[in-house]
Structure 1
Amino acid sequence: GAPGGKSRRRRTAFTSEQLLELRKEFHCKKYLSLTERSQIAHALKLSEVQVKIWFQNERAKWKRIKAGNVS
């Protein structure tokens, strides 16, 4: 990308604390309700969209790994 270009959305860099909490939640349940997503977002000072997308990405990864293990 162009240096100093602020219009493009950057990939969110989550802190290790945030990732730890997200992974803990993901381990318990792969899908969050709107309420849960909202609570986690507030607790971690993230937007609900960031939480939603993280879970989407994590599920995709999880499904790939799961599919690979079934061989």
Structure 2
Amino acid sequence: HHRRRILFSSQQVEVLQNRFQINIYLSPIEREQLARKLHLSPKQVKVWFQNQRYKKRKKF
């Protein structure tokens, strides 16, 4: 089964990236709050952070 890729708006990405620069890990509560603020599901936020950490690792 094929999962649909979620496209984040540029504004959402900006907020996510700013958070990522502060801390590459989010607590469940922070994830919850960020998701609500961006109108995303906590799972989407979690996956975005996982992917960013993965990309970051690949660069080095």
Could you tell me the TM-score, scaled by structure 1's length? 0.80
Equivalent in 32, 35, 38 of residue 26 of structure 2? 32
Structure (1 or 2) with the larger CA radius of gyration: 1
Tell me the TM-score normalized by structure 2.
0.94
Please, which runs of 5 or more residues in structure 2 have no aligned partner?
A: none
Q: 1:29-61 deviations in whole A, cap 9, x for unaligned?
A: 000000000000000000000000000000000
Q: Distance in 2 between matches of 1:41 and 1:53?
A: 12
Residue 14 of structure 1: aligned partner: 8
Residue-pair matches, total: 60
How high is the sequence identity, in percent, across the aligned residues? 45
Q: CA RMSD of the aligned region, Å?
A: 1.1
Any unmatched runs of 5+ in structure 1?
1-6
The answer as to 2:45 corresponding to 1:45 is: no
Q: Distance in 1 between matches of 2:7 and 2:55?
A: 18
Q: Which runs of 4+ in 1 moved over 2 A?
A: none
* Cα distance in 1 between the residues matched to 2:22 and 2:57: 16
Comparing 8-17 with 38-47, which one deviates more in the overlay? 8-17
